[in-house]
Structures are given as structure tokens and as C-alpha cells.
Chains A and B, each alone.
Chain A
Amino acid sequence: MSARKQRLLSGSPWISGVAALGVALLTAAPAFSQPPPRPRPGGGPPRSAPPASNAPAENEPKKDDEPVEPEKEVFFAVKGGIVHTVSGGDLSGATILCRNGRIHAIGTGVEIPKDAEVLDATGYHVYPGLVAFRATGFHGGSDPSDGTDVYSLNMALALAAGITTCMSGDTVAKLTFGSVEDMIVRKEPLVNLNYSTRSPDARRRLRESLDKLVDHLRKVEAYERESATNKNAVKPDDKWIRGEAEKHLKLLKGEVAAEISADRAHDLYQACELADRYGIRIVVRGAYEGWTMAPRLARSGVSAVVTPRTRVDLDERHVRPTGSSIENAAILHNYGVRTAILPPGLSVSTWGVVGEDLTHFNMEAAFAVRGGLPQEEAIRGITIDAARLLGVDHRVGSIEIGKDADFCITDGDLLHYMTLVRWTVVNARVAYDKQKDTLFDHIRPDGDRNAPPPNDYWPRRLGSDWEGPPLPEKQPQAGR
């Protein structure tokens, strides 16, 4: 057992406290709810909190894209694992009970109903399903629930990497292998803005559009004030707000955030200015020079999606610090910039330069740890922080009561290079089982890192009852 595992098992005082509490935990459940978002530097309400993100999930009004609860209660339980709630702490040997696809109770004394499907994860680590800020190749069509091939190899590989939710196109959707139900989490959570120093014209047009809308909002406000006293007040015309302008209006109202691709300090600076000027929430993707101006980003409440392994040489023409740094994520975090982590390749590639795609999603977070980011924060960067940037943290990203039952159950610490995913659970359904899908079953079967690989790992098995080809009683000896 690794030292890291030892440390996890020995537990902090509050883990042992939890174990002792037993059933009482059920009632103490709110204690696990995630802490409020980090206060923004300079005070003020947290900008990045989407509406109702802090409210308990059960109390919020039902949205269209939320699954309708079936009449019959379906229970699913993961028991015995080392539960990393991400938002609340680690619980050794706890049981997670899920009801109708949502987490119902977490704790060591949770009673499992008789008809529940039970997944015994004793000795395994239970993490929330990983959230990829952006991905391609897992879902299809403009509406993923209509166009996705839910038996595709890509989806199986992504699940084998522990990913359960990702943004495909402009929709946050789940990787519901073998099911087309409850796939969509949120549509259009972000507005893509082209705001790069390379296209000054696009920047000008965007500013014009935003200025016009700000003006409109002021007029609306004035009208509302006036209409209280003056019945003849004229409502400002809003028929022109269509298409792009409609999206921008949502942005100004704070309903969605903006996504800007910006890598270098100058572009990042522009993004900060934009955020300051219009008070909008901005997520910058790339941001490899973010470490040079982290305080500025933090001051403007700009979040970042970084790729810790990016390597860009410094530009000697500048006197300021330039280029990438392995410490990027750590520095951004230290200054309070919310940071999600994404690998360089946003798909699954089984050719070319492997290892820099989403099949090694956890390894990307490990790169950030190498650069000084605390381990817990690195895990947050591929779970709850990514979910929060997408505005879906009320449903996915951490193990909390009321959230979706999406888990990534691994045979070791998530960020360790030898760790493999044993099960991936999506919507309380086992979507990937390492032993049943022969993609990775030949590598260290059953989580035992010292066990020899099985002989019959090829071809890819269909279902679990395939016995494989008969083996010779004695392996032929190599010729002299």
C-alpha cells in the first residue's frame, strides 16, 4: 500500500468522527454541502455563482432539462469505498446511497434498501465523475440526446478515463453509455466571444454591441422606475435584440458567462478590462501566461481553463516575464483565480501523440500538482471547479446529497500515474466496468498492481460471459 493511501486511510480527525456518528450522519448531511464560492478579491457577491447554485438541489424549481423522477424508486448504492467528496472531505468506508439517479445519503451507517443495486467498492477510491470543460467526439448532433452514438468506442474510452460530464458543442452533456436518457445537463452555458488582439475589428464590434445593450438596460431600468409613477411611460424597444445581441444581453444580465480564448498576457489583460468594464463573468481558455498576471485576473474575477503541461518558450523581445510555466495553475490558485484543468487534446486519440488527450485527463491534473498546486485543488480543477465554470455545479462535480449519482471509482489515488478506473457510474448506472470491458482489463486485473495480466484479453469481449479461447495446458517453450 502506498504511503499516500496510508495517509488517506488513517484519516483526519473529522473522518473518524464521521465514522463514529453513523446513522446520525444522515441528519447531519447538510454539513457536507459545498462551501460558498471563494470570496472575490475586493469583496462583493461572488460573481461566478450561477443562480441557485448554492441552494439545495431538491428545493430548486425543476428545469426542462432535468430528469423527471420515475414513480418507482430505484436505489443504487456504492459501499465501502474511500469517498472523496471533493467539496467536503474524505470519508473512509462510507456508503453512498442513490435514489432515482440522485445521491440520497452519504455515510458509514446508511441503511441500504433491500432492492437496491449495490456496488461493493471496498478498497477503492470513489470520486465524483470527472468533468471536462470541453470535449469533442463523445457526443453527436446539435442535440446530443438525439445524435449520439451511445455505444461508441470513444465514449467507452472517455468513461474509462473517469469522465462523466463534458461540454460538447454548446451543450453540457453526460456520457450515458448504453442509454439515451438523462443525457443533457445544461444547454448553452457559455457565450463564445472573439476578443483577441489579432482581430481588432471583432473587438470593436463586440464592444459596440455591449455598449448598446448597456444603454438599453439603463433605459429599461429608467422605464421601470418611471412606470411606477407615470402611466404613460414608453417601454424601450427590444425587438432588435436577436441572435448575438440576445446572447450578449444574457451575458450582461449575468445569466451566462463568456468564454474567451486567450493565451498571452496582452489578451488576458484585454479580457480583464472587458470583465471590469461590463461586469461580466469571463472564462479564459488557454491562459498559459496567466501566471505573469494572476493578481490582475483575480481582481477582475476572471476564471481560467489551463493546460498545465503547455510548454511555450519565453519571448526574449519582451522585458516582462513571458512564456508558460509549470507553476501556472498553482500561481493562479494562490491568487484566487478559479482554475479548471484541460489536456491539450480535447478528444480521444488512439493514434499520434497519445497521452495528451482526454484518456489521460487525470494526468493533466497531476501536472498541475507537479507545479505546486495542492492535490485537492488539482482534483477540484477536473471536477467541481470545471462544473462551476460550466454552471452545472448544482448537479455534478462533487459527491453531495441531491447531486447526480456520477462517480469515478478508481483502484488508487486519482492523480497517481498507475491508477486505473475500475467503474464509472453515470446517473446511478454502471456505465463502465473495467472487468467487463476489455479495454484495460488486461492491465493489473482487479486493481492488484502486482497481479499478472490475464491471458485472454483479446479480442474485445462482448459481455461478461465470454470465456475466451481455450488455453493450452502448458505454454510452449521457446526454441533454443
Chain B
Amino acid sequence: MRMRMRMRQRGFAVCAVCIVAVPATGIAAGQVGNDEKFVVVRAGRVITVSGEEYAPGMIVIADGKVRLVGQNLEYPDGATVIDARGQTVMPGMIHVRTRFGLPSYNRPGVRGDLKALDEVVLSQIEFEELLEAGFTAVCYTPFGDGIAGVAGVLRTGGAESARRVKDAAYLRVDMTDPASDKGTLRNALKKAQEEIDKVEKARQEWEKKQKEKAEAEKKQQEEQQKKEGEEPKPGDKPAPSPPKPEEKPQPPKPSPPKPGDPGAAPPVEAPKEGEKKEPEQFVPPAMDPAHLPLIDLIQKKYDVPLFIELDQASDYLHAEDVLKPHKEFPRVYWLGARLPNRASDYDYVVKALGEKKALVVVPPAIYYLPLTVEQYNLAAELTKAGCKVACAPWWDAPLEFDRVRSRLADLVRGGLARADALKSVTAHAAEAAGVADRLGTIEKDRDADLVFLSGDPLDPRSEVTQVMIGGEIVYERKDGRR
């Protein structure tokens, strides 16, 4: 299926004319001389997800990143050309919430120090099944009640060094059993605040001590000045005073020797901290690593959002009740619907979610009103209300991965816009996993993680023919399969 051919040389004068047609900056003549590796995809159709669809379309990829998307693009001599003129190309799908290939076990309590990616042994997991279904990235989520840990994003193929996309994608907060989970979150937030207060208190004490010390020294100096010339004391006393003003601007420097941080979320205390070797520097007491992600959020470092897992509609109210003082925390909701016949109850909170323009992850499923054949399209209702909806397969079964596209087609038939359906597994899924700057769309400077399909992605007959990760074809459908 895949064909590579050398294109004939073209004059760069022609190239310049073409660049004018394409708004994005083209490949300047000078760049060709670099070691950049160019790959060009010529596709029957390119679904960028972020905006236009090009049919036919072209994607120029430089060093694993998308450089240009459009029609009739110019590319330098020597680029590898992939001819997929009978195929549709879309961004690789992202699975936002998975335990694929990992064991399930319960770790109750607050374990913000645990990272799901640390559990992954690449050689032990067969990613082929995910690639077959068109998933180029998965977000491994920690397992367990309460606050089980931090999720991480992994590519399903490509060079091993480039597999990890993001170590800390989100902090998973279970709220499926609010009778216990609410207390867990409430206490965790309280504990996180206590940790912050602890450090703050220690700092104030230290500053007070330093002040007293400085005053004492000043006094001594004054006394010394009074007794001027009487006894030239050894230079002990003036010595400690000058380093202090010097040290205050120092803190950014001593990031390597971190005393209180056992390895989790490195940049947390960096600006606050001092180093150990100089006793003059403030050494903050160690913070509980299990609460570090929450401490970050309270300190307005919003890199790792909360991923709040809900079961029933009222769990949303319970979650919001606990997070009432923390309205600004970034958060993603998972509406899991363990009891599908009660999933239509989500309708009670759809409006509230829409007003917040929340990012919501749902299984790509059509529900029914209780005891009826009346359909309830949760994804469509959420979108209509103003939410960004991402879809994640319900179970980590390869069959379920395969079904995702046809389930999306069901949602589209039930009222979800086609563009939103495609975004739900690409752009919005990337946003939910915190990797929207790299994955999820075919745009300039995004990773060239692409899926080649034999037809429209929502057509149940179309199949994934090839998968590209980082500009390399990592999967090709073997003939005769199915």
C-alpha cells in the first residue's frame, strides 16, 4: 500500500510562488541544506480537525513535526513522499483514560506521588491493538479509590525515546462514591493547605530569626564602632552579614539540591527553596509528596488539572461542594455512568457543566431514558450546552477500541455534529490529557501522529491502513486481515 517515490526536482523560483498561496511560512531555500528529514503525505483527504478538510490534501512533515498542511504544497528535494491518494488522513486518536495492559488493584487514599506511567513496562504491553484501532497516544490513568495518582501520556508506537509525551497529565480524583470520596478529597485539600501553612510558618520563623540575628549583629557592630579602634576583633561578625543580601536573589539557582522533595513534581518548591549546604539559606520542611499535586493547585500552579470521575449526576454536586473554595482549579470530568439506565440523569447537570464550558470525557455511547426506547445522546447534549466533549472507550478491550469510530458514528446519527465527534477523540481528547500543544490536530508544529484510513473515519467500512507516529510509519495493515 505504501509507496515512496522520488519527486523530480523543481526550481525554487516556482516554490516561492507557491508559498505565497500558503499562508504558513514555507520552506525557505536555506532550510533545505539542514539535516531536517522531510516526509510528505499526499492524501485523498486530510481531516485537520482544527479547521479545514483538504481533498485532496498534502502534509509536509519535517523532523516528525507537521510543517505545512494544505493543497499543492511545495516540499524540498529529497523528501520521502507517501502516496496515500486513495486514503483519508486524520490526526491520531487519543485514549484519555486507560489501564490497557496494566493490572487493576485498589490503592485507596491520597497517592498524588504515584505516576501511572511508572507502572508501564513498554515491552510487556502489546500496543498493536491500539494502533490497529487508530490510537496513537494513550493516557494511562492510576487505579483506585480516592486520589489514586497522576496520569501520563504515552505514544503507542515509534522510537522508544520519544514514547513518553507527558508524565503528569492529570490528577485522578474518584468521586463515584461520594459517601467516602468526598471526605477523602476534603481532607486531602485540608492537608495540602496545612502543608503550605507549615512551610509558610517555618519561613516566617526563619525570617524572624534572621531579622533578630541581623539586629543583634547591627547592635554589635554599633557597639564595635563605639569602641572603635579599641580591639580589632577577628572578622567573624561582619562576615555573615554581607552574604545575606546576596543570597536572597539566589533561590532560583539552587534547584539541584532539593532537600524536601523526594522526586515528585520537581518544580514545586523551587522558587521557595534554598539549599542545604549554606545554613543561612531557608530550608523549608519537607512537604508530603502524596499531596504535592494538590499543593500546586492551591498555589495557583495549574499544570496538572483534576480529573474528576463521576458516576451519578449528584456526584457532580458533591464534587463541586467540596471544591467550592477552589473554583479556579482546572478540571476535567469523567461521566462514567456505571448504571447506564440512569445515565440520562446527567441531564440535570448538563446545563451547569455547559455554563462552565467544562471539558467532559464520556464513553461514546447512546443511552436510553429509563424503561423506554427514547434515546439520550449525552455527548450531543453536553456539546449543545457549551461543553467540550472528549470520548474515551468504555472498557480497555481491543474490540471496544475498534468500535470507537462506529460508536461515534452512532452519536453523529443521534445529533452530535460530525466535527465535534471527530474532535472528541482527537483535539478535545488531547486537551483532556494536557497534550493539546503537541497532539490532536494536524497543524503547524504539531507532532506528525497520523492515522490513514481507507475511507471516512465515521464510515463503518473504512479501516485503518497505516499509522504514522512522529513522521514514521509504525503500523501497516497486513493484507488479508479481516
> Which residues of A come within 8 Å of B, CB atoms?
140-143, 145-152, 178-181, 458-460, 462-463
Contacts and interface: CB of A to CB of B under 8 A. Distances in A.
A437 to B, nearest CB: 11
A462 to B, nearest CB: 5
Interface in B305-355: 312-314, 317-318, 321, 344-345, 347-348
Interface stretch (B124-132, B175-183, B423-431): B175-183
Contacts of A146: 178-179, 182-183, 318
Contact of A180 (B321, B374, B376): B321
B314 A180 contact: yes
B317 A142 contact: no
A460 B369 CA distance: 8
B11 to A, nearest CB: 63
Given A178-B348, A462-B347, A463-B347, A147 B371 contact: no
Contacts of B314: 148-152, 180
B321 A147 contact: no
Contact of A147 (B178, B370, B372): B178
A181 B321 contact: yes
Given A180-B318, A459-B374, A151 B345 contact: yes
Nearest to B348: A151
B317 A150 contact: yes
A149 B369 CA distance: 18
A458 B348 CA distance: 18
- The 10 A-B residue pairs with the shortest CB-CB distance, nearest first, are A147-B179, A141-B179, A459-B372, A150-B314, A146-B182, A462-B347, A149-B314, A459-B369, A151-B313, A180-B317
Contacts, number: 48
Interface of B: 178-180, 182-183, 312-314, 317-318, 321, 344-345, 347-348, 369-372, 374, 376
Contacts of A458: 372
Contacts of A179: 317
Given A147-B178, A151-B348, 5 more contacts: A141-B180, A146-B179, A151-B313, A151-B345, A180-B314
Contacts of B318: 146, 180
9 contacts: A146-B318, A147-B178, A148-B314, A150-B317, A178-B317, A180-B321, A459-B369, A459-B371, A462-B376
B432 to A, nearest CB: 25
B448 to A, nearest CB: 43
Given A151-B313, A181-B321, A462 B182 contact: no
Contacts of B370: 459-460
Given A180-B318, A180-B321, A462-B347, A151 B179 contact: no
B312 A149 contact: yes
B310 to A, nearest CB: 12
A141 B317 contact: no
B178 A141 contact: yes
A140 B177 CA distance: 10
Nearest to B381: A462
B370 to A, nearest CB: 7
Contacts of B321: 145, 180-181
A433 to B, nearest CB: 14
Contacts of A180: 314, 317-318, 321
Contacts of A145: 321
Contact of B179 (A142, A152, A178, A459): A142
A181 B324 CA distance: 11
Contacts of A140: 179
A143 B369 CA distance: 30
